[in-house]
């Protein structure tokens, strides 16, 4: 019987090249199930939706199956709660515009300074409406490392007042790597909102860096809005947005043409049709995840993913921590365990500092490994770190997923060892 890693890697033809893909937080490899569906759609059912002839009927059903599969993946109550867009930034921007009519001029928005996809649209909404924006900022968790910042719920709660309308945060930071306990955060925030008399508080959770590593569960979380990018979850370049049915009915106004009947479905968040072939292609992600374990159960699949990813991140974290005297500082959570994804950022400071871009250049010169440096659209978070970092150079990021191997991590560590010598 094939091992978990052998089974996983067999679904990604690109891995046969031997190249080590370690920039997965920027975009994962695409599973063959996905590519086969995209190809099949374009070759056999590439027509406009909604007509009565047989090929159009099949095409319509295929595109509709994308929302059905996504609702299953994230445990939404209905496919009518799923909208698609070209990117998570676009989806949240559409969401903010649809919510604009229900937000009062004296209300407030709380955001984190992380992934701009779930920050920028709310800041723009605040500017249009003249709202106050508050930041749920991370705090230092290690006395020896000023960059070891994490978000704690007790720093969020004092920000909530009777005027709070939206709280937007990331379930997992694409810089820090730490996984936020979304269910507990939302429960605590809702209790505080009830205590202070908030009119209507809603939560927008960015799962772009979370979705490859843990299962999203929107109903269990009690979340109102949730977004993730399929191209970072082994799928095509498209984003899915969840909007709770009650929010679709009571909070959001349509962005669609005035003559279209959107009722209280997620279609009101799609001012134009998404790429049909990519929406159908997303169904291949669900099939891939179910193929990872004998049970075909999604929770089992993500449990297996988390277990293997711990075997990847533990030695990398241990090595970086062992280089503290050399000036290596992990940016984010230094701890391992299930509260952390295998997305690891670091800088090299001290008496012999090394620019982040120089570290990446050394990997490029070696060849065969892809890592990256920068702020990764977490501009505000990186810009506010102390001591200050050069925002253009920012951090080195190594982002792994479950199809990476322990042997690949060993090679990455070997190259880092040469860089730091």
pLDDT at 253: 95
CATH of residue 348's domain is: 3.90.1150.10
Per-residue pLDDT tens digits for 366-410? 999 999 999 999 999 999 999 999 999 999 999 999 999 999 999
Q: What percent of the chain has pLDDT over 90?
A: 95
CB atoms within 10 A of CB 260: 10
Tokens 């075997």, residue? 311
Q: Tell me, what's the pLDDT at 83?
A: 97
Classified as helix, coil or strand, 397 is strand
Domain span holding position 142: 41-288
Are residues 22 and 57 both part of a single domain? no
Within 10 angstroms of residue 130's Cβ, the number of other Cβ atoms is 8
Same domain, 136 and 12: no
Examine the pLDDT at 1 and tell me if it is beyond 70: no
**CATH of residue 125:** 3.40.640.10
Rounded CA separation 171/220 (Å) = 14
Which tokens in the block code for residue 349? 């400071």
* Tokens encoding 279: 């929406």
351 & 282 share domain:
no
Mean pLDDT of the 34-50 span? 97
β-sheet bridge partners, residue 178: 340
Quickly list H helices, 227-386: 245-250, 276-281, 283-290, 298-322, 356-366, 379-383
Tell me: do 224 and 128 sit in the same domain. yes
Query: 328 and 309 share a domain?
Result: yes
Q: What is the pLDDT of residues 101-130, one digit of tens each?
A: 999 999 999 999 889 999 999 999 999 999
In terms of domains, do 319 and 224 share one?
A: no
Asked if residue 105 is part of any domain, the answer here is yes
Report yes or no: 232 and 28 within 8 Å, Cβ to Cβ.
Answer: yes
Comparison of pLDDT for 258 and 320, the residue scoring more: 320
Nearest to 124 by CA among 135, 136, 137, 133: 133
Does residue 157 form part of some domain? yes
Residue that is last in its domain, among 288, 309, 343: 288
The residue out of 264, 288, 312 marking a domain boundary is 288
Q: Angle between the 298-322 and 406-420 helix axes, to the nearest 10 degrees?
A: 20
260 has pLDDT over 90: no
State the sign of the Cα–Cα–Cα–Cα dihedral 214, 236, 407, 8. positive
Q: What is the dihedral of CA 204, 209, 213, 219, to 10 degrees?
A: 10
Residue 339 within a domain: yes
Are 270 and 330 within one domain? Answer: no
Indicate whether 260 and 355 sit together in one domain. Answer: no
> Does residue 171 fall inside a structural domain?
yes
Say how many domains are in the chain.
2
Regarding whether 301 and 283 lie in a shared domain, the answer is no
Bridge-based pairing state of the strands 343-348 and 328-331: antiparallel
Same domain, 313 and 170: no
pLDDT grade, residue 263 (50/70/90)? confident
Q: Which of 333, 340, 328, 350 is nearest to 396 (CA)?
A: 328
Is 421 domain-assigned? no
For 66-103, how does the pLDDT look when each residue is reduced to its tens digit (9 = 90+)?
999 999 999 999 999 999 999 999 999 999 999 999 99
Spatial distance between the Cα atoms of 389 and 382, rounded to a whole number of angstroms: 7
- What's the rounded Cα separation, in Å, for the pair 180 and 400? 18
Query: Which stretch of DSSP H or E encloses residue 374?
Result: strand 372-374
- Given the DSSP bridges, would you call strands 225-229 and 202-206 parallel, antiparallel or unpaired? parallel
Interatomic CA distance for residues 165 and 310, integer angstroms: 37
Do 118 and 88 contact (CB within 8 A), yes or no? yes
From 288, 304, 332, the end of a domain falls on: 288
What local confidence, expressed as pLDDT, does residue 261 receive? Answer: 85
Could you tell me if 209 and 316 lie in one domain?
Answer: no
**pLDDT beyond 70 at 217:** yes
Is a pLDDT exceeding 60 seen at residue 306?
yes
Is 420 inside any structural domain? no
Task: Find how far residue 88's CA is from the centre of its chain.
Answer: 9
- Mean pLDDT of all residues belonging to the chain: 96
Run of H or E residues at 67: helix 54-74
In a domain, 35, yes or no: no
Q: Tokens at residue 238, please?
A: 């498209």
Residues 146 and 256 in one domain: yes
- Cβ neighbour number for residue 151 with a 10 Å cutoff: 21
Q: What is the pTM (predicted TM-score) of this model? A: 0.97
Whether residue 324 lies inside any domain: the answer is yes
């Amino acid at each position: 019987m094939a091992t978990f890693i052998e089974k996983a890697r067999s679904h990604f033809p690109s891995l046969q090249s031997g190249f080590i893909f370690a920039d997965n937080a920027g975009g994962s490899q695409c599973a063959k199930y996905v590519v086969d569906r995209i190809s099949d759609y374009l070759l056999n059912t590439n027509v406009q939706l909604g007509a009565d002839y047989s090929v159009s009927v099949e095409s319509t059903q295929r595109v509709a199956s994308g929302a059905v599969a996504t609702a299953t993946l994230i445990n939404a109550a209905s496919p009518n709660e799923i909208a698609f867009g070209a990117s998570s930034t676009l989806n949240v921007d559409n969401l903010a515009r649809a919510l604009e009519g229900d937000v009062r001029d004296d209300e407030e928005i709380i955001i984190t300074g992380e992934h701009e996809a779930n920050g920028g649209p709310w800041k723009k909404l605040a500017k249009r409406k003249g709202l106050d924006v508050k930041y749920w900022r991370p705090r230092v968790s290690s006395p020896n490392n000023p960059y070891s910042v994490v978000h704690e719920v007790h720093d969020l709660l004092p920000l909530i007042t009777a005027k709070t309308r939206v709280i937007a945060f990331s379930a997992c930071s694409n810089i820090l790597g730490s996984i936020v306990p979304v269910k507990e955060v939302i429960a605590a925030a809702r209790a505080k909102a009830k205590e202070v008399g908030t009119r209507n508080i809603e939560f927008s959770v960015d799962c772009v860096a979370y979705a490859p590593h843990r299962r999203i569960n929107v109903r269990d979380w009690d979340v109102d809005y949730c977004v993730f990018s399929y191209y970072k979850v082994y799928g095509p370049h498209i984003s899915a947005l969840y909007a709770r049915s009650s929010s679709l009915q009571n909070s959001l106004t349509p962005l669609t043409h005035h003559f279209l009947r959107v009722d209280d479905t997620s279609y009101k968040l799609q001012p134009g049709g998404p790429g049909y072939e990519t929406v159908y292609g997303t169904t291949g992600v669900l099939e891939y995840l179910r193929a990872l374990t004998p049970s075909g159960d999604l929770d089992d699949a993500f449990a297996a993913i988390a277990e293997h990813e711990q075997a990847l991140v533990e030695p990398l974290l241990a090595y970086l921590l062992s280089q503290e005297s050399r000036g290596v500082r992990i940016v984010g959570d230094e701890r391992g365990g299930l509260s952390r994804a295998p997305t690891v950022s670091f800088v090299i400071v001290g008496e012999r500092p090394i620019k982040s871009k120089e570290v990446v250049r050394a990997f490029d010169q070696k060849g065969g490994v892809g890592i990256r440096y920068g702020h990764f659209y977490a501009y505000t978070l990186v810009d506010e770190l102390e001591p200050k970092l050069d925002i253009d150079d920012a951090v080195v990021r190594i982002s792994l997923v479950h199809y990476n191997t322990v042997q690949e991590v060993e090679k990455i560590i070997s190259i880092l060892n040469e860089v730091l010598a």
